[in-house]
Chain A
Amino acid sequence: MPDLLLELFSEEIPARMQAKAADDLRRMVTDKLVAEGLVYEGAKAFATPRRLALTVHGIPARQSDLKEERRGPRVGGPDAAIQGFLKATGLARIEDAKIQTDPKKGDFYIALIEKPGRATIDVLAEILPVIIRTFPWPKSMRWGERSAKSGSLSWVRPLHSIIATFGLETEEPDVVKFAVDGIEAGQTTFGHRFMAPSAIAVRRFEDYEAKLLDAKVVLDPERRKDTIVTDAKQLAFAQGFELVEDQVLLDEVAGLVEWPVALMGSFDEEYLTIPDEVIRATIRNNQKCFVVKDPKTGKLTNKFILTANIEATDDGKTIIGGNERVIRARLSDAKFFYETDLKTKLEARLPKFEQIVFHEKLGTQAERIKRIERLAAEIAPLVGAEVEKAKRAAHLAKADLLAEVVGEFPELQGLMGKYYALAQGEDASVAAASEEHYKPQGPADRVPTDPVSVVVALADKIDTLVGFWAIDEKPTGSKDPYALRRAALGVIRLIVENTLRLPILNVATSALGGLLDKRPREAIVDSQELPSDLLAFFADRLKVQLRDQGARHDLVDAVFSLGGQDDLLLVVRRVEALGKFLDTDDGKNLLAGTKRASNILSIEEKKDKRTFDGAPDAGLYELPEEKALAKAIDQVKSEAGSAVAKEDFATAMGAMAKLRPAVDAFFDKVKVNDDEPKVRENRLKLLNEIRAATRAVADFSKIEG
C-alpha cells in the first residue's frame, strides 16, 4: 500500500515548540485519514529547527465504495415528498428508484445510492491544506506581501515550501496537488542552511531522510540528542572529567541545530570561586551550554560544552573562541554580582522591602516578612525549634530576593540566601532556612526536617494562605495564580512527615490577627469564618493527596465530619487506623451494621419527624440481645474513648471490633419497629447509641461502600 511523505519547511521554529508540533501533525493527519475511512499501518513525525516532517505508511490507495439503500415516500405520495427524496438522493427521475412492496404499509420507493470511494491522493489534497491552515501553534504570525490581505496564512515563522508525495514503494510517487496561500506542494526541500543549502528533489520518506543526512541534516531529534550526549561525554571523558547531564537543556539544544557538533571550551579558573550553581545557571541559561565536573571532587571544572550547528572549516576554533569570550564576560558579570552581594549584609537589604508591594491588599514585602517572623516565633515551640533562631531565620529568609545574583537568576532564590547567610556567619540552621523554607515545591519535592527550616516553611505558607483567603483570592477551578494548593499541600506534608502537632485553627486565627494588626479591615472579607474555611481547604487537599496515593479519600470526610479536627497529624493517623480496620472482617461488618442502624434511624426519624437522642431506658429492654448490645456499647464507648484520648487509634478500632457480634445479634433477633411504641422508641434510641459509639473514631455514615 502507498505511503505519504509530508514536509513543511520554514524559517527557524522555536525549540520548545518542535516536539509538540511534530506530534500534532501526526495526530491531525492520521485522525483525518481514519475519519475518511483510510486506516493506515504506521506514522512517524519529526522536527528540526527548519522543518516538520511526517511519514504515514500503508494507506489504501482508495477509499472503499459505499452502497446504501435509502427508503423514500410511498408510491403515489405527495409531490413535495417525492421531490425532496430526489434531491436528497441525487436521483434524476423517480423512475430511477426501485419500488419495494410492503404487505402492511403498501409500496415504497427505494433509492440505491452508490458512493464510489475516492482516490486517497484526492482526499489528501483536500485535508492537508485544512490541517496546515488550522495548525495549533502556541503563537503564530503573518509575513510578506500576502499579509496585507485578510485570510493570509498564519504559521509559526514564515513557511517556505511544502513536500507532499504519495505512492507505492516500487513506483515514482505522485505529488499531492494542493497549495496553501501561494505555496504549492511539490517534492523539493533544502539541506543545511550553511553546509548544503541547495535544493534537493525527493520521492519518498526513505530517500528523503537519506538525502537530508547527506545534506547535513539529522531529521530525527532523538538521533541529534544521542549525538550531542555521546560526543559531549566523550569530550569530557577525554580530559578526565564528567558531563553534568541536563535533559531539559539537551531537548532545547537539539531543537537549535540540524547538524550537531559538540565542542569543548574553557574559562579562567578564577571564576571557580563563584558557587557552582551560579556558574551553571550562567552557562546554561544564557549560553545554552553544558557544564562539566571533576568526578574526584564532584565540583565543576573550568570547562563547558557547546553544541554548534556546523562543521567549521577551522574545526571550530573560531566558534570555541567566540563562545569563550561570551562566557568569560557573563562569568565576569556573575562574579561581580556575587562579590557585590557579599559586601552587603542580608539585613541591610530589608529596608528596601518597604518599597516593594507584595500584593496591593496585603501590603509590602516588609510587612509580610514581619508577619512571618511573628508567626514563626509562635510556631517554633510547637515544632521544637529555638524561638530566637526561628525568628532570625524568618527575618533573613527573603533578603536574597534583592541580591544581584537572584535578580539575574531567579531560580537561585533561597540558595544564594543560604550562601550569603553562611558568609556573614549566621548559624547553620538559620542559613539553611533561606533555601529550605521554599520547600516542598510540589508532591515530589523533599520536605525539610531541620526544625528551624520547618518553622519558617510553615509560617511562610500559612501566611500566604491566610492572606489570600482574607482577600478572597481563593483558587477556583483550574485557576490558582498564587499556587495556594501547592502551599496547602506543603503545609500538610511538613506536618505529617515531621509528625508535628499543630492546631491549624489556632495558628490560622493568629496569622489572621497579625494581618489585621496592620491592614485595613475593609480589605479583609469574612474573617470570622476564615480559619474553618481554610481548614476545609486543607481537608480537600488531604483528600486529593490520599487519592493520588491510592488511599481512600472518603475516610478523610468521615474523620473531618466529627468536627473540631484541626490537628492534621491526628487526622491522618485516624484515617490510617480506620483504613486498616475497614480492611478486616470485623471492620466491614461493623460498618454494615452501623449503616443499617443509620438507615433505619433516618427512615424512622423522617416518619416521626423527631430524633431519637438520649439514653435508652434499661427497664424497657425485653430481649437478651438488647441488653447485650447496650452493655457492649457502654464498654466500647469507654474503651474507645480512653484510647482516642491517648491518641491510640489502633486500640480504639480494636475496641470498636467488639461491638460487631452484639450488633449482628441484635439485628438478627430483634425487631426494631415493635408494636409497642415505647419499646420501639427505646430500640431506636439504642440504634442511635451505636451511631454515637462509632463516632468516637469516625462518622461511619460518610464512608463509602
Chain B
Amino acid sequence: MDALPAHMRPERSFQGFILALQRFWAEQGCVILQPYDMEMGAGTFHPATTLRALGPKRWNAAYVQPSRRPKDGRYGENPNRLQHYYQFQVIMKPSPPNLQDLYLKSLAAIGIDSSLHDIRFVEDDWESPTLGAWGLGWECWCDGMEVSQFTYFQQVAGVECAPVAGELTYGLERLAMYVQGVDRVYDLNFNGRDGADKVTYGDVFLQAEQEYSRHNFEHADTAMLFEQFKMAEDACRKYLAAGWQENLKSGGNQKEHLMALPAYDQCIKASHVFNLLDARGVISVTERQSYIMRVRELAKACGEAWVHTEAGRAV
C-alpha cells in the first residue's frame, strides 16, 4: 500500500477506497464485476448474487452496485441519507471457513486497524421479503458504527442454498466517511486531490440528490409507473414461460430453462418501480403487502428457472 500515490490511498479518496476493496477481493480469487446496468434497491438484487447464489457451482465475485432507495432521498439536506448510494458486494459460494478473517483483512486493507478499533459482530438476521430470501449473520460494527452486513444465505428466491453462500455488503459512503474523518457525505474527497483539483462527493452527486428527491417524492409519473409495474410483471412471466424446454441431452426427461436472466431483469424492474410508487405514497398499507408478494412470486419463478440453466444446475 505504501507504493500507492497519496491521492489513491483509501483514507484519502473515495475512488481509492473502492479500488483497495476491489484489489483485496481480487486477491482472494473473486471475479471483479462492474455494476449491473439496471436500477435496484441493493447489491443483493444483482443477478451475480441473487441467481448465482443458487445451484451447486462454485462462485466468487465482488462488485460495486449503485443502490437506489427512492424513499431515502432528503433533497441533499441530510448529512447521511441518500436516495442513491454505493454498496460493495462480495459473494463467495460455498462460504469459505475463514470468511470472517477475510472480512477483517479487507478492513485492514482500507485502513481500519483492529488493534485501534473496536470491531464487533452483532446479531442481524437478514430477510428480503421481495426476494423470498433469508440468511443468518451479523451487522459488523466498527466503534459503534454499522459498517457492513455479513450473511450466510440459507434461502434465495424461495430455493434452499446448497451449498450456502457467504455475502458481505459494505456501505461505501459511510465507511469512507469514517476513514476520511468527515461528518457530511458530500464532503467526502472523491479523487484524493487537493486544492483546485479536488472533487468531492457533493460535486458529483449533490445536484442528483436534489433532482431525484423532487422526482421521487413529487413528480414521478405514477400512472406510467403503475403501467410499468404491470408490464414488467407480464413480461417476466412471458419470458419465463417461453424459456422452458425439454433438456435434449438428458434424453428428454428433464426440463431446462433458456431465458432466466432476461426474465429476472423484469423482476428487478418491477421491484424498483414498486419502490418509486411507494416513495410517492400512492400505495396503501394493505396494497403494499400484495405488491411485495407479487415481486416475490416473480423472484421465486426466476430462481426456479435459474436452477434449470447451465450455470444454475448440477454438473
Which residues of A does B touch, CB under 8 Å?
11-12, 14-16, 49, 139-149, 156-158, 160, 194, 256-257, 287, 289, 306, 308-310, 312-314, 318-319, 321-323, 325-329, 355-357, 360
What chain A residues lie within 8 Å of B251 (beta carbons)? Answer: none
What chain A residues lie within 8 Å of B163 (beta carbons)? Answer: 142, 144-148
CB atoms of A144 and B96 under 8 A apart: yes
CB distance from A467 to the nearest CB of B (A): 18
CB distance from A159 to the nearest CB of B (A): 11
Residues of B154-190 contacting chain A, CB below 8 A: 154, 161-164, 166, 178, 183
Sample (25) of A-B pairs whose CB atoms are under 8 Å apart: A11-B100, A11-B121, A141-B135, A141-B152, A142-B161, A143-B94, A144-B96, A144-B97, A144-B164, A156-B136, A157-B152, A158-B97, A308-B118, A309-B119, A312-B117, A312-B118, A313-B115, A313-B116, A314-B116, A319-B143, A322-B142, A322-B143, A326-B143, A326-B144, A356-B285
Tell me, in angstroms, the Cα distance from A85 to B99 when the chains sit together.
58
User: Does B79 sit within 8 A of A, measured CB to CB?
Assistant: yes
Partner of A148, one of B94, B137, B286: B94
What chain A residues lie within 8 Å of B122 (beta carbons)? Answer: 12, 15, 256
What chain A residues lie within 8 Å of B154 (beta carbons)? Answer: 141-142
A312 nearest CB neighbor, chain B only: B116
User: Does B120 sit within 8 A of A, measured CB to CB?
Assistant: yes
What chain B residues lie within 8 Å of A310 (beta carbons)? Answer: 114-115, 118
Max count, chain B CB within 10 A of own CB: residue among A11, A147, A326: A147
CB atoms of B164 and A329 under 8 A apart: no
Tell me, in angstroms, the Cα distance from A360 to B123 when the chains sit together.
34
Partner of B144, one of A139, A140, A145, A327: A327
CB atoms of B118 and A329 under 8 A apart: no
What chain A residues lie within 8 Å of B145 (beta carbons)? Answer: 322, 325-326
CB atoms of A355 and B284 under 8 A apart: yes
CB atoms of B95 and A143 under 8 A apart: yes
CB distance from A480 to the nearest CB of B (A): 24
Partner of B80, one of A145, A309, A322, A329: A329
CB atoms of B118 and A141 under 8 A apart: no
CB distance from B63 to the nearest CB of A (A): 23
CB atoms of A319 and B164 under 8 A apart: no
Given A144-B94, A313-B115, verify A321-B143 contact (CB < 8 Å): yes
What chain B residues lie within 8 Å of A308 (beta carbons)? Answer: 118
Given A11-B121, A318-B143, verify A147-B94 contact (CB < 8 Å): yes
State the total of A-B contacts with C-beta under 8 angstroms.
115
CB atoms of B123 and A325 under 8 A apart: no
Partner of B115, one of A14, A287, A312, A321: A312
Which residues of B does A touch, CB under 8 Å?
56, 79-80, 94-97, 100, 114-123, 125, 135-138, 142-145, 152, 154, 161-164, 166, 178, 183, 284-286
CB distance from B59 to the nearest CB of A (A): 13
CB atoms of A323 and B100 under 8 A apart: no
B166 nearest CB neighbor, chain A only: A143
What chain A residues lie within 8 Å of B121 (beta carbons)? Answer: 11-12, 49
Besides A142-B163, A318-B117, 6 more A-B contacts (Cβ < 8 Å) are A141-B135, A144-B95, A158-B152, A325-B143, A326-B143, A326-B144
Tell me, in angstroms, the Cα distance from A328 to B183 when the chains sit together.
10
Given A309-B118, A319-B118, A329-B79, verify A148-B136 contact (CB < 8 Å): no
A289 nearest CB neighbor, chain B only: B144
What chain B residues lie within 8 Å of A140 (beta carbons)? Answer: 136
Tell me, in angstroms, the Cα distance from A194 to B116 when the chains sit together.
10
Tell me, in angstroms, the Cα distance from A158 to B137 when the chains sit together.
10
CB distance from A268 to the nearest CB of B (A): 12
Tell me, in angstroms, the Cα distance from A326 to B146 when the chains sit together.
9
What chain B residues lie within 8 Å of A323 (beta carbons)? Answer: 143-144
What chain A residues lie within 8 Å of B95 (beta carbons)? Answer: 143-144, 147, 158
Given A148-B163, A289-B144, A329-B80, verify A139-B118 contact (CB < 8 Å): no
What chain B residues lie within 8 Å of A287 (beta carbons)? Answer: 144
Tell me, in angstroms, the Cα distance from A360 to B286 when the chains sit together.
9
CB atoms of A160 and B119 under 8 A apart: no
What chain B residues lie within 8 Å of A194 (beta carbons)? Answer: 114-115, 119
CB atoms of B123 and A15 under 8 A apart: yes
What chain A residues lie within 8 Å of B123 (beta carbons)? Answer: 12, 14-16
Tell me, in angstroms, the Cα distance from A14 to B136 when the chains sit together.
10
CB atoms of B144 and A322 under 8 A apart: yes
Tell me, in angstroms, the Cα distance from A360 to B161 when the chains sit together.
37
Given A12-B121, A158-B152, A306-B144, verify A322-B162 contact (CB < 8 Å): no
CB distance from B209 to the nearest CB of A (A): 18
Partner of B56, one of A14, A148, A327: A148
Partner of A318, one of B80, B116, B166: B116
What chain A residues lie within 8 Å of B164 (beta carbons)? Answer: 141-144, 147
What chain A residues lie within 8 Å of B135 (beta carbons)? Answer: 141
What chain A residues lie within 8 Å of B161 (beta carbons)? Answer: 142, 147
CB atoms of B116 and A141 under 8 A apart: no
A160 nearest CB neighbor, chain B only: B97
Tell me, in angstroms, the Cα distance from A325 to B145 when the chains sit together.
9
Tell me, in angstroms, the Cα distance from A319 to B152 when the chains sit together.
28
Tell me, in angstroms, the Cα distance from A310 to B120 when the chains sit together.
10
Tell me, in angstroms, the Cα distance from A49 to B100 when the chains sit together.
14
What chain B residues lie within 8 Å of A322 (beta carbons)? Answer: 117-118, 142-145, 178
What chain B residues lie within 8 Å of A321 (beta carbons)? Answer: 143
What chain A residues lie within 8 Å of B117 (beta carbons)? Answer: 312, 318-319, 322
CB atoms of B152 and A143 under 8 A apart: yes
Tell me, in angstroms, the Cα distance from A15 to B139 when the chains sit together.
13
Max count, chain B CB within 10 A of own CB: residue among A142, A143, A309, A322: A143
Tell me, in angstroms, the Cα distance from A116 to B178 when the chains sit together.
67
Tell me, in angstroms, the Cα distance from A175 to B162 when the chains sit together.
33
What chain B residues lie within 8 Å of A149 (beta carbons)? Answer: 162
Tell me, in angstroms, the Cα distance from A344 to B251 when the chains sit together.
70
What 6 pairs between A and B have smallest CB-CB spacing? A322-B143, A14-B123, A148-B163, A12-B121, A323-B144, A147-B164
What chain A residues lie within 8 Å of B114 (beta carbons)? Answer: 194, 310
CB distance from B167 to the nearest CB of A (A): 12
Tell me, in angstroms, the Cα distance from A70 to B138 when the chains sit together.
59
B96 nearest CB neighbor, chain A only: A144
What chain B residues lie within 8 Å of A326 (beta carbons)? Answer: 143-145
Max count, chain B CB within 10 A of own CB: residue among A15, A148, A256: A148
What chain B residues lie within 8 Å of A160 (beta carbons)? Answer: 97
Tell me, in angstroms, the Cα distance from A309 to B144 when the chains sit together.
11
Partner of B162, one of A15, A147, A313: A147
Tell me, in angstroms, the Cα distance from A448 to B116 when the chains sit together.
51
Tell me, in angstroms, the Cα distance from A110 to B212 when the chains sit together.
92
CB distance from B173 to the nearest CB of A (A): 13
Tell me, in angstroms, the Cα distance from A143 to B178 when the chains sit together.
31
Tell me, in angstroms, the Cα distance from A309 to B94 when the chains sit together.
30
CB atoms of A329 and B183 under 8 A apart: yes
CB distance from B286 to the nearest CB of A (A): 6
CB distance from B313 to the nearest CB of A (A): 13
CB distance from A335 to the nearest CB of B (A): 13
What chain A residues lie within 8 Å of B115 (beta carbons)? Answer: 194, 310, 312-313
CB atoms of A12 and B138 under 8 A apart: yes
A154 nearest CB neighbor, chain B only: B154
What chain A residues lie within 8 Å of B120 (beta carbons)? Answer: 256-257, 309
A16 nearest CB neighbor, chain B only: B123
Tell me, in angstroms, the Cα distance from A160 to B99 when the chains sit together.
12
CB distance from A319 to the nearest CB of B (A): 5
What chain A residues lie within 8 Å of B142 (beta carbons)? Answer: 322
Tell me, in angstroms, the Cα distance from A1 to B135 when the chains sit together.
44
Tell me, in angstroms, the Cα distance from A458 to B79 when the chains sit together.
45
What chain B residues lie within 8 Å of A49 (beta carbons)? Answer: 121
What chain A residues lie within 8 Å of B79 (beta carbons)? Answer: 329
Tell me, in angstroms, the Cα distance from A428 to B122 when the chains sit together.
42
